[in-house]
Structure 1
Amino acid sequence: MNVIVLSPIRMFGDGLATSLGNSEGIRVVAVARDLAGLRNALAGASVQVVLIDVTQGIDLYDMRSVAVEHPALALVALGLNEQRQDVIRCGRAGFSGYVPRDAPIDALRGAIADVAAGRLACPAEISSALLRALFRSDHQSDSLDTELALTQREMEVLHLLGHGYSNKEIARELCLSIATVKHHVHSILDKLKLPNRVLAMRRVRDAPWLASVASRRAGGVREG
């Protein structure tokens, strides 16, 4: 199977590619340093698995966008802190499997084989937490489908709401009118089925990929 390694640390990515190159049935077709490099590599080759170094603060929102664009692609988190919430967050971001920080290289080979076969090996406590998370996502009104309905601008406004900004402060930060900000806030609350902005702030804390949009505004100001 064809594999891409994504890590901002060149030595780690190249070393991992070399180690996996000796594994039967695994072919590392590219080592990407960032999301742009990953997208370019995916466009140029048939790939089944992407190994993603999550120890360097990877953007979960960006990873979820890759998972949505490539539904047949298996994303594997490398170096994950094996805690329930971390595993659940990666699952919500579209990851198919993970390898804990203290796992040997053989465990990584096994994880690649597992995700290719549609399996996820994890401790019973993690499995139980995943099942409970699935139950909540099916029975609570704040589902992921609703979150996906937010526009990029609405996610930027929600990000600032999550940091306690007022409408006036959001307007100044995003170079919008206060009336436009009020429109976006109303739309966000309506889409997320939330009664007030305090609960919207809690949503940002519960969904870390929404809090990543600040970095996506670096390209300049866009129209509201």
Structure 2
Amino acid sequence: MVTAALSILLVDDEQRFRQGLRTLLNFYSSAGPTTFEIVGEAASVEQAMVLVGEQRPALVLLDLELARGDGVALLEQLREGSYHGKVLVLSAHQEDDWVFRAMQAGACGYVFKTHLASQLGEAIATVMRDEIYLPPEVATQFFRLFHYYSGRSLQARSQIHLTEREQEVLYWLVRGASNEEIAKNLYITIATVKAHLTAIFEKLQVTSRTQAIVAALKLGLVQA
């Protein structure tokens, strides 16, 4: 059975870095089960929005710091628009607030540029399974910052009324578990997991797993 290639848009203002990404993705295509097709390259927010509209890539690999425009602003525009693909941030910034801003704006994962060779393949596979990718060194910073914000959100937390089972499902969701893993851990069916996730999304007023995790941590509904 022939699997369709995964379409990818590269967004980075450094041409040499984009070329390096092409080389790495070509290597993954030749060595792994998934074929990657780069459908375009953009160096600015404006170029990226045009190409997303034209090509509808399944995945955007995004640098947050562009010479013309802010990568976080692009994330917010994509979230508010009609784009339904995934965005994986590739950044040289390792500061807590950069990770926080990217994930809050709708990124599905965050990878340091210095770790691309060892982590990019796993990161792409993870986000395309509709899961969050945060390597350990990123996750620690991410959770720490959200704990800071959660301490300021007790009033909002009291307004979210999750059932005991929904709380359990949310607990495993935040830890990156797939629907199958959640079902196994809680001894329920996958269909039941999906039903609980639908209810959780409605109560948190979100539309994706990424946004649910961000909201849960920000509101202090779960502990990392």
**Contact 2:8–2:58 at 8 Å: present in 1 too?**
yes
Two-structure CA RMSD over aligned residues (Å): 2.7
The answer as to 2:48 corresponding to 1:38 is yes
The answer as to 2:11 corresponding to 1:21 is no
Q: 1:130 to 1:111 in 2, by over 3 A?
A: farther
Matches within 5 A, 1:87-102: 87-102=99-114
The residue that corresponds to 1:128 in the other structure is 143
Q: Percent identity?
A: 20
Number of residue pairs matched by the alignment: 141
**Contact 1:48–1:74 at 8 Å: present in 2 too?**
yes
The answer as to 2:91 corresponding to 1:86 is no
The residue that corresponds to 1:2 in the other structure is 7
Q: CA deviation at 1:109?
A: 1.6
Unaligned runs of 5+ in 1: 142-224
Q: 1:133 to 1:19 in 2, by over 3 A?
A: same
**Contact 1:55–1:78 at 8 Å: present in 2 too?**
no
Q: CA deviation at 1:53?
A: 1.7
Distance 1:136 1:42 in 2: 37
Matches within 5 A, 1:58-97: 59=70, 60-70=72-82, 72-97=84-109
Distance 2:124 2:151 in 1: 29
The higher radius of gyration belongs to 1
Q: CA deviation at 1:83?
A: 2.8
**Contact 2:44–2:66 at 8 Å: present in 1 too?**
no
Q: CA deviation at 1:139?
A: 4.9
TM-score, structure 2 normalization:
0.54
CA deviation profile, 1:147-202 (whole Å, cap 9, x unmatched): xxxxxxxxxxxxxxxxxxxxxxxxxxxxxxxxxxxxxxxxxxxxxxxxxxxxxxxx
Q: 1:113 to 1:138 in 2, by over 3 A?
A: farther
Distance 2:15 2:141 in 1: 31
The residue type paired with residue 108 of structure 1 is L
